[in-house]
Amino acid sequence: MAYVCRTIGGMRGRTRRVWEYERCINTLIMEIKVLFFGVLTDVTGTIIKNYRDVKSIADLKLRIQDDYPGVVHYSFRISLNNVLIDSDRLLNDGDEIALMPPFAGG
Amino acid sequence: MVTNYLINGPVTLSVISLYIEKISEKTDSGGHSVFLGQVRADKINEKKVMAIEYSAYEVMVRAEADKIKEAVLSEFSDTKSVDIVHSTGIVKAGEISLFVLVSAGHREQAIQACAKTVELIKEKLPVWKKELFDDDSHEWRQNH
């Protein structure tokens, strides 16, 4: 998805232009970090991937499935900023999401 | 070096010795229970496990291990301390990958609390293991 910064008709003054510019930049840099663990590192071929313009966990799942169709064959839990979650959540810039297959410590 | 419950490579005898030495400072305890998790040289489909490679979500390991300690200390009131050391990276067959030391006022709770700690580690700690075979193949394992 492309974002376009443009001057809104009738707006004047440096403060308003700066505000508009910063709003656009903030939207553009919305980025989250996704960590893969266990067997998912083999499936995806990576341990970390950054995603931009992802609104929610449900949205992210679809994006990951597009990039790595093989993940649908594996069960995993999801954590958001180090806390396990079991329902959809909205995402914010800088969030860290981990996809975690069943644990195998010990 | 043990950092936030994790050590890179096997839990060595020198690491275990450090924890055992500190027992003498725990003068409120009358019993200590130790669990050592060891890498087995399993044979699977004619392939032999040479080592296990552990990986961990380190930030979450710290948080979950803290919770495990709190839960055990809360459930077993006679328990004085819980120590946990888990390996990351490669641990060869025969080497130690998990060390748990629980100290309590008396032996019953030391033993019970140690067993409970190990079960919680298996269930809650975000750690994964990849078995490395003698034919250079590997397989991800999960706890049962």
CATH number at residue A82: 3.10.20.30
Would residue A21 count as lying in a domain?
no
CB–CB contact B142 A104 (8 Å): yes
B68 bridge partner residues: none
A85 bridge partner residues: A78
Would residue A65 count as lying in a domain?
yes
Greatest pairwise CA separation for chain A in angstroms: 65
The whole model's pTM is what?
Answer: 0.86
Show residues of chain B in contact with A95, CB under 8 Å.
none
For the stretch B58-77, pLDDT in tens is: 999 999 999 999 999 999 99
- Chain A interface disruption, residue of B6, B11, B57, B58, most A CBs within 10 A: B57
Q: In whole angstroms, what is the distance from residue A72 CA to residue A80 CA?
A: 20
Domain that holds residue A51: 31-100
* ipTM score assigned to the predicted complex: 0.90
Rounded to an integer, the average pLDDT of A12-36 is 69
Rounded to an integer, the average pLDDT of B19-27 is 95
| Residue B52 pLDDT exceeds 60 | yes
